[in-house]
Amino acid sequence: MRYCEQCDPPHADALVCTRLLIVRQRATRIAALTTAIAELTALLGRRVLALGTPLVQLRGVGPVTAARLLGELGVSCASTRPRRSPPSPASPRWRWPRAAATATA
């Protein structure tokens, strides 16, 4: 990209100068976006680590993916609080209360 910024052919016609101007503008924009991406990635990494979420311990989950999951699902979904275990299939289900048997004597 630095080559594009510094390139200035001495005997270039108008078409080459125009193309070179466009390439320089795009190279400058790419450099600015690369810097912004690096800054945002670092910021997301610090914020995700501050939350203490275990998501970043999963293989393939970096700070950007963890931040996206936390943003879409919410922080409480990925909290480190211990959760109760789900009910086992054998646990009793709720049933309608039985009608009181009336004793007739």
**Would you state the pLDDT for residue 32?**
95
Rounded Cα distance between 1 and 30, Å, is 9
> Does residue 46 form part of some domain?
yes
- Summarised one tens digit per residue, pLDDT across range 62-92 is 889 999 988 888 776 555 554 555 555 555 5
More confident residue, 57 or 88: 57
Cβ atoms of 63 and 41 closer than 8 Å = yes
> Does residue 88 form part of some domain?
no
> Does residue 11 form part of some domain?
yes
Q: What is the pTM of this model?
A: 0.55
**Would you state the pLDDT for residue 40?**
93
> Does residue 97 form part of some domain?
no
> Does residue 39 form part of some domain?
yes
> Does residue 87 form part of some domain?
no
- Summarised one tens digit per residue, pLDDT across range 11-49 is 778 888 888 888 889 989 999 999 999 999 999 999 998
More confident residue, 55 or 93: 55
Domain hosting residue 57, numbered range: 2-78
Planar angle of CA 100, 104, 105, nearest 5 degrees? 145
85, two tokens: 């275990």
Q: What total number of domains does the chain contain? A: 1
> Does residue 96 form part of some domain?
no
The pLDDT-based confidence of 97 (bands split at 50, 70, 90) is low
> Does residue 102 form part of some domain?
no
